[in-house]
Structure 1
């Protein structure tokens, strides 16, 4: 028998023969960009007949409307979450091998601390004994009529020798004290670390809820139940390490994911699936409403009507949802239109641990590499890799850490890249490629800029100097203004002529491409002229 039932919070539970208490084990998690579907396995012994099964270890933030139950050998009735009159619950993690080992580490660390403290106490006892002996010898005074010169001499020598020995013992004991105190500090640090490690393993929210299920067992024996529920406080996002090898013209992309969950319970050794589906996001298209427009007589005494286009306020209109990229996958699979990645091997994610990193795979691509120079804005050129995603997979939006020749040069929020698409990624400044944009001297005393009431002229000299030991493929960018009015005429001259105008689809952006050898310098002269009719003002 195999049944699937939905939550029936409002249905009364029938009178049952008895209550069976059971615990669950998390076996699988499907993690979404926001939220997670958790699958739990419940095993227990049940006599034949009707019973009330009480599963006592669901997290308090379980979504009640998204609980689903299946069982291969039970008839399932009404079920509901209970938050009061719950039975006492011991921590289900107390008998795990990891927690037992962590507890043993704490016990050993406490013993080590006691031993180190005992060593310090023994040294202090030696110091106190030597100091007491010195005090006794200092207070010793000879008395009696039998005291002779010979006896006094012998007593003085004996006291002096014993005083010297006591002082030496005190100094020796004091010399042993610093390393013993250091040992105590080290032992305390070991104990603190062991306690923290045990706390991380055993962390569990004391606030929990229980799931009450009406069941009927056909016969005595072992029974099994699968519980699937949804939690909001979990997330994942892609992360990349992008390593550029300029000489080999290769880009290595190491892909991974950052996982966080705050469910109140640990996920230990679960089967993890990452999904691009967004259960919490907008699921239907936005609504368009009729837009009534009206005009009024300019001389009316009625209310002033705004000329701007208005959007009607609708209380029940669906809000716009923030779009989230698709899943980063080493071996993607499709569930309808949704891309998922099934992580190989069991995964453990403790509650409250932020950005646990899980490694996926690596992709190797061949980018086009150039030095890009913008003399009007920068003083050095920058290394730019133009990347075409020639893999069949989508590179998802996420954080990318950038390495150039194995050195970390920065990080960016990578916007993502569809299969076949192209993007530019900057890999830091090239300090040996120096840039300058200057206005040359003229006989009139102006510095490359002349302006009248109907005309404006400007001349600039762009200079790129290669102080490195390598030749560089270089792209220099500058700009001229553009006009959409017939009255405003704009012209320019450049020496050498630009390789491309309106670069990257941007009007007025000029591009020069050339190779610059080591030690060489390249100059570009750019002049522009703006002309407009008398009586008009340039803006």
Structure 2
């Protein structure tokens, strides 16, 4: 009876806690402009009851504050801890590719050994034949005093043996190049196999171990999903922007460049790219009250300096109202990339591999074609040629994020630029390189006063400049010509100008004094603009202005 009761107690008691060692697999990654959120799965099989699950392949930089754990159905999670020191040993898991690479290296090593043995065999044949020839030579020298008939017989024997040994040596030398070539090929194959294995095997860096208590309602497989945030990952957009003047459009090929240095490889992960920046502050800078006071200078000068050496502390209410004791709140350090509009998320359709610290993965995103108007822009004051400019609107419905762009015009590569953020529906203008056939010149014709283009006296300056656009191409070009004249914010300084032909726009792009002409320059012709400027001010005053 006592035995039966003990047996029943054992059966009714829960199973003792068992430590289950498991490894995690990164299944999904969301990469931000700075940082990434990793999703891992830990699969295990265990009987019903309480267990300790030990996961030993987390990066050492794992932040316990960002670590989140979600069990599958039927699994309950208890307390857990993250350790980065005094860790239990772990067995490194090998992928199928690593196993195949190790087998290939082993086979290549065996071939290299066989090739070396074959070469050694050929060399041994040559060495043996040469040794035989040398021995026969010494043997003939020792028999010089024997009888003539014996000597003749010995000589014939030595000659025949030397001939056979020499032929053996020649045959071995004939086999030598092939053996050497085979050994070289085997060595190269072994080196390639070693490099392939090293490319698949990352160093065993420092790691962290996650230990958590769990219970299973029923025996069977279970899954624990881990999510964590890591800093050492980033992505940025890349653009190829092509201007097609004949079609009147700009074609934008968008790509993404992703890299990571998290301490572990990402293999076959579902990749999502987000424009969110979780490292930035979530709220605006605080504004503090700004108290201004007035005082009587005479009354203040009568007071002793010593009275103000140790002012009485302000009341808490005064501090709140006046803000005198509140610190100045500086904005938090922001990243260099500025985003507009809502957060954009890109989900790449196929699994990707990104090696730790050695790989920049470029992924094609999509292609956008938008209508564009193009014209030449000329600034004769500074440039020798006009430049192609294209204006277009972002009608893609998505924000175009800041990033480097490679530019082509009518199929020819022009160069690179840094694209600024373009919000949906926003209009922008991009330059597409110099137009060598549109030559620019700014001259100042001689005047009767002897100065070159400038007439000045004590309270007046007159200046005349001629802006020229020479079209050396075989097509007519629409050209926007820009020039700047002085502007004044004083009533006494009067600035006037006369332009022939008249300007199309004044204070262009809200820039004071910037003039614009929209003209068409026929093929093989030159378009001149004469611009005269006058500045005048009262007698007795002086003009203080920089000259270009």
Fold-level similarity (TM above 0.5): yes
The answer on 1:248 being equivalent to 2:253 is: no
Question: Does the residue aligned with 1:366 lie in a helix, a strand or coil?
Answer: strand
Task: Note closer, same or farther for the CA distance 1:104–1:422 as it changes in structure 2 (3 Å cut).
Answer: farther
Task: Note closer, same or farther for the CA distance 1:112–1:536 as it changes in structure 2 (3 Å cut).
Answer: farther
Q: Within 1, Cα distance between the matches of 2:193 and 2:340?
A: 37
Q: Within 2, Cα distance between the matches of 1:127 and 1:445?
A: 99
Q: Within 2, Cα distance between the matches of 1:429 and 1:291?
A: 52
Find the counterpart in structure 2 of residue 31 from structure 1.
31
Shift in Å at residue 432 of structure 1? 1.8
Q: Within 2, Cα distance between the matches of 1:218 and 1:247?
A: 70
Q: Within 2, Cα distance between the matches of 1:108 and 1:252?
A: 51
The answer on 1:40 being equivalent to 2:53 is: no
Contact 2:272 2:347 in 1 (8 A): yes
Task: Note closer, same or farther for the CA distance 1:117–1:385 as it changes in structure 2 (3 Å cut).
Answer: farther
Task: Note closer, same or farther for the CA distance 1:317–1:252 as it changes in structure 2 (3 Å cut).
Answer: closer
Mapping 1:100-139, distance limit 5 Å: 100-107=99-106, 110=109
Shift in Å at residue 318 of structure 1? 5.7
Greater helix share, structure number: 2
Aligned residues: 495
- TM-score, normalising length: structure 2: 0.78
Contact 2:34 2:232 in 1 (8 A): yes
Task: Note closer, same or farther for the CA distance 1:124–1:363 as it changes in structure 2 (3 Å cut).
Answer: farther
Task: Note closer, same or farther for the CA distance 1:102–1:302 as it changes in structure 2 (3 Å cut).
Answer: farther
Find the counterpart in structure 2 of residue 331 from structure 1.
none
Contact 1:266 1:350 in 2 (8 A): yes
Shift in Å at residue 83 of structure 1? 1.7
Contact 2:354 2:360 in 1 (8 A): no
The answer on 1:80 being equivalent to 2:81 is: yes
Q: Within 2, Cα distance between the matches of 1:519 and 1:127?
A: 83
The answer on 1:471 being equivalent to 2:484 is: no
When structure 1 is superposed on structure 2, of 359-368 and 128-137 the one drifting more is: 128-137
Shift in Å at residue 242 of structure 1? 0.9
Task: Note closer, same or farther for the CA distance 1:395–1:495 as it changes in structure 2 (3 Å cut).
Answer: same
Q: Within 1, Cα distance between the matches of 2:469 and 2:484?
A: 16
Shift in Å at residue 408 of structure 1? 2.7
Contact 2:285 2:329 in 1 (8 A): no
Contact 2:119 2:176 in 1 (8 A): no
Q: Which runs of 5+ in 1 are unaligned?
A: 1-14, 304-309, 329-336
When structure 1 is superposed on structure 2, of 106-115 and 387-396 the one drifting more is: 106-115
When structure 1 is superposed on structure 2, of 220-229 and 467-476 the one drifting more is: 467-476
When structure 1 is superposed on structure 2, of 272-281 and 194-203 the one drifting more is: 194-203
Q: Which runs of 5+ in 2 are unaligned?
A: 1-14, 307-322
Q: Within 1, Cα distance between the matches of 2:521 and 2:467?
A: 14
Find the counterpart in structure 2 of residue 9 from structure 1.
none
Contact 2:472 2:523 in 1 (8 A): yes
Q: Within 2, Cα distance between the matches of 1:467 and 1:116?
A: 70
Task: Note closer, same or farther for the CA distance 1:445–1:121 as it changes in structure 2 (3 Å cut).
Answer: farther
Shift in Å at residue 86 of structure 1? 2.2
Q: Within 2, Cα distance between the matches of 1:272 and 1:521?
A: 56
Shift in Å at residue 374 of structure 1? 1.0
The answer on 1:430 being equivalent to 2:435 is: yes
Contact 1:123 1:173 in 2 (8 A): no
Q: Within 2, Cα distance between the matches of 1:406 and 1:116?
A: 53
Q: Within 2, Cα distance between the matches of 1:110 and 1:501?
A: 79
Q: Within 2, Cα distance between the matches of 1:354 and 1:447?
A: 61
Mapping 1:257-406, distance limit 5 Å: 257-294=256-293, 297=297, 300=301, 314=327, 319-322=332-335, 324-326=337-339, 338-406=343-411
Task: Note closer, same or farther for the CA distance 1:129–1:361 as it changes in structure 2 (3 Å cut).
Answer: farther
Task: Note closer, same or farther for the CA distance 1:143–1:457 as it changes in structure 2 (3 Å cut).
Answer: farther
Find the counterpart in structure 2 of residue 216 from structure 1.
215
Contact 2:30 2:271 in 1 (8 A): yes
Contact 1:54 1:213 in 2 (8 A): yes
Q: Within 1, Cα distance between the matches of 2:470 and 2:83?
A: 74
Contact 2:122 2:176 in 1 (8 A): no
Q: Within 1, Cα distance between the matches of 2:40 and 2:273?
A: 17
Shift in Å at residue 84 of structure 1? 2.7
Shift in Å at residue 58 of structure 1? 1.0
Deviation string for 1:285-322 (max 9, x for gaps)?
A: 1111222334563894969xxxxxx9987387662534
Shift in Å at residue 353 of structure 1? 3.2
Q: Within 1, Cα distance between the matches of 2:215 and 2:136?
A: 90
Contact 2:403 2:418 in 1 (8 A): yes
The structure 2 residue matched to 1:518, chosen from 519, 523, 538, is 523
